Amino acid sequence: MDLLTDSFSFPINPFLVLIGATLLAFYYMPLNYWARRGIPHVSALRCIYQTLAVTLRTKSFHEMLHEQHKALEGHPYGGAYLLFRPTVILRDPELVKEWLVKGFAHFHDHVPKPDEKSSKLAGNLFALGGDRWRAVRTKVSPAFSPATVRFMHRTLEGCALELSSHLQRVCGAKSEAEIDMKSMAKNCAMDIIGACAVGVNCNALGDPEHCEMKPIVEEIFGITWRSSVANLLTYIHPRLPAWIRFPRRTPEVEQFVAALTRRGLQMSAEERAGRRDFLKILVESREAEKLAAENCGAGGASEDEDPVFTENIIAGVVGLFLSAGLENVAVTVTFCMFEIAHQPDIQEKMFDEIQAMKQETGREINYDDLKKLEYIEQVVNETLRKYPADGYMRRICTKPFKIPSTSVVVEENTKLFISTYSIHHDSKYFPEPEKFDPERFSEQNIDKIVRGLI
């Protein structure tokens, strides 16, 4: 018996036991995070599987959040996991307003604060946080004002006329023609972004194969193996990609946007005079900031105040403009065309509204007329309801937040997600959610809609 016992015995190293216990605690404790707090949650193993599926690109991030949203049905909020890290899922629109508006001081950042020195595109409004975000937002917001849109309307109008000419060339005299709407919408969006963002004539509609900006902008927004691996690393630790120098985008992307920015900064006043683009506005804001700093007096800004319009900030804002403007515009236009192609009566109402406006004014539609095209606005709103441009919202808890009516505290650095797609497709808020119905947004029905997530 002693011989049998001895044959199965082995020395136990206390150091190895300590390492094993530490590893078990590292993985096991986070995976029981929500259960220990008595919060409804999605199974940790299920969340790990979903996260890996997103990394392997067999599932989109939107789909993962939609599944987690449905798994928490019956609860206004719940817990989930992004790999091993606890996250919060908000399901109730009223709670969304309460947490993100009233509790703004706790959830004002979108992502962990970036290192602006390590990336030329880190200085955009979605990446910045805290006081830096507030300072940049205050000075950049005027560039997104209605006056700026009016200023750029002529440029937008020129791109629209080019799209009309392109359709005439493609269709010719044919009564029927097959068109790749997504590709055409993306090329049109590329022309608009190039002209409005950086004053570049891309000619993506006319010659998409030789559009220099197209592959760069597509990589900024697109999901590649590189971006998937970088995202997985951030799930392990937000700073891990920076620590091992594995950025989400290739160096060529940052170099391209930085070159565009420098080109804008080097333009003379005479060169900028005839331009109508976003980069021009940012460059002029930078010069105004410099002038104010030079002329500051007793009642002016402090000489020690950090400048907002640095080259990296301008590059980051331009990069955000490029990435947000391409895919979102192309997808929204494509889905809108898809829906009205299946409902000719909606097409006719849109056409009749435009014709009535032209007859009333005796001219082509201008900027001021757009806000009067109420039915077309309803169609666009319903498209964004059924096919939201960004299917989810995210925030980072910047300081501990006590969940109302509970003793549970959302800890600092916990990620918060809201699946806008799931809420838009919830029959509780939108009856017959899969039906495309622009009348939801009519003057008679608009008050029935839960505000804040459209």
Q: How far apart are CA 453 and CA 420, in angstroms?
A: 7
Return phi, psi of residue 357, to 5°. -65, -40
Confidence of residue 266 (pLDDT cuts 50, 70, 90): confident
**Is 2 a residue whose pLDDT tops 60?**
no
Q: What pLDDT does residue 431 have?
A: 92
Q: Higher-confidence residue: 57 or 67?
A: 67
Residue 249 in contact with residue 120, Cβ under 8 Å? Answer: no
pLDDT of residue 414: 92
**71's torsion region: left (phi>0), alpha (psi -120 to 50) or beta?**
alpha
pLDDT tens digits, one per residue of 20-46: 555 555 555 667 889 888 999 999 889
Q: For residues 136 and 128, what is the distance between their CA atoms, to the nearest angstrom? A: 9
Q: For residues 269-297, give the mean pLDDT.
A: 76
Is the pLDDT assigned to residue 274 strictly greater than 80?
no
Structure-model confidence comparison of residues 423 and 266, the more confident one: 423
Provide DSSP, 226-267: HHHHHHHHHHH-TTHHHHTT--SS-HHHHHHHHHHHHHHHT-
Q: What is the pLDDT of residue 92?
A: 92
The position carrying tokens 């192309």 is: 330
Closest CA relative to residue 92, chosen from 71, 75, 104: 75
Select the more confidently predicted residue: 304 or 418.
Answer: 418
pLDDT-derived band at 152, boundaries 50, 70, 90: confident
Percent of the chain at pLDDT > 70 equals 83
Report CA dihedral (11, 14, 16, 20) to the nearest 10 degrees. Answer: 120
Give the range among 46-50, 117-121, 285-289 with minimum mean pLDDT.
Answer: 117-121
pLDDT surpasses 80 at 173:
no
Give the residue from 367, 402, 163, 397 showing the smallest Cα distance to 276.
367
279 close to 261: Cβ distance less than 8 angstroms: yes
* pLDDT, position 340: 95
What is the Rg, in whole angstroms, of the alpha carbon atoms belonging to the chain?
26
Give the number of other Cβ atoms within 10 Å of residue 138's Cβ.
Answer: 10
- Average pLDDT score, the chain: 82
**pLDDT score of 148 more than 50:** yes
What is the per-residue pLDDT across 192-211, written as a single tens digit (0 to 9) for each? 888 888 888 888 888 888 87
CB 114 within 8 Å of CB 122: yes
Q: Is residue 6 very low, low, confident or very high in pLDDT (cuts 50, 70, 90)? A: very low
Looking at the chain, how many residues does it have? 454
Residue 296 has pLDDT above 90, yes or no: no
Flag whether pLDDT at 236 surpasses 80. no
The pLDDT of residue 9 is 45
Which tens digit of pLDDT belongs to each residue from 378-427? 999 999 999 998 889 999 999 999 998 888 899 998 999 999 999 999 99
pTM of model > 0.85? no
Has residue 227 got a pLDDT over 50? yes
- Residue 4, pLDDT above cutoff 50: no
Least confident of 180-194, 286-300, 437-451: 286-300
Check whether 301 has a pLDDT greater than 70. Answer: no
